[in-house]
Amino acid sequence: MQPDRVTVVVPTYNERENLPRLAPAVLDQGFRLLIVDDGSPDGTGDLADSLANSEKRMSVVHRSHKQGLGPAYAHGFNVAIDAGAEVVCEMDADFSHDPTDLPRLMEAIDRGADLAIGSRYVPGGATPDWPPHRRLLSRGGNLYARMLLGLGVRDSTAGFRAYRSDCARQLDAASCSASGYGFQVEMTMRAVDAGFRIDEVPITFRDRQFGTSKMSGAIVAEAMWLVTRWGVKRQMRRLRSTK
């Protein structure tokens, strides 16, 4: 895969402290960078414009207000693919995902994966900064999704990913129900159902050092509710198919 055919999509909301470090770290890997800013009141969008003015491989999309992670990625995917990207990547703006791991996702794509997931829960993956209760919540949520939805993916909530453009197009991110990290589960479920090849690549996930986490109880509740609803629907379809 030619690096200039890969676009890393990064949604931002109040990430002014991280963006000046993140942009060169991604661009140093040889890939294109697309920032999708949701009207950050701290000036992240203006800063992104300033950085993009001096770097032709970086571009910025501005949205009027905070609309959620899923819609931001959906918008960014469409913009990147329309501009010629053959692979679109997801990653956080806060260095929870190491930009130097991006080539490892590309290696999985080059080996034939349609979707490569940077996974915390396959051998070699780790979350060294997390307290026990956070590990329990995350692992429990992934186990719940895996068992209820039958996904066979150990880290379906992971937000560090690479999609082949034809895969991303078919999965139609814009029609997803989830706006928070449930979006990752929904896209994983769609990829499994469509028969796409999914490879999990072990990564180390670090906590942010600057800025404020966007995670909230409402986002967790949305994900749990949607996974439960999807699981019930899948079970009902299986029951009807056996009659």
| Closest alpha carbon to 1 in 165, 184, 238 | 165
CB burial readout 31-61, b (16+ within 10 A) else e: bbbbbbbbebeeebbebbbebbeeeebbbbb
Domain count, the chain: 1
Query: Do the beta carbons of residue 76 and residue 9 sit within 8 Å?
Result: yes
Cα–Cα distances (Å) from 95 to 56, 78, 108, 226, in that order, read 22, 24, 21, 28
The pLDDT profile of the chain, 243 residues, written as one tens digit per residue, is: 788 899 999 999 999 999 999 999 999 999 999 999 999 999 999 999 999 999 999 999 999 888 888 999 999 999 999 999 999 999 999 999 999 999 999 999 999 999 999 999 999 999 998 899 888 888 988 998 898 998 999 999 999 999 999 999 999 999 998 887 789 999 999 999 999 999 999 999 998 776 566 555 666 777 787 888 888 888 777 767 776
Q: Which domain holds residue 48?
A: 3-242
User: What pLDDT sits at residue 68?
Assistant: 85
State how far the Cα of 123 lies from the Cα of 121, in Å rounded to an integer: 7
Neighbours of 112 (CB within 10 A): 9
User: What pLDDT sits at residue 213?
Assistant: 61
Backbone angles phi, psi at 182, to 5 degrees: -60, -20
For position 82, which CATH number holds? 3.90.550.10
pTM for this prediction: 0.92
Query: Do the beta carbons of residue 119 and residue 151 sit within 8 Å?
Result: no
User: What pLDDT sits at residue 230?
Assistant: 87
User: What pLDDT sits at residue 224?
Assistant: 80
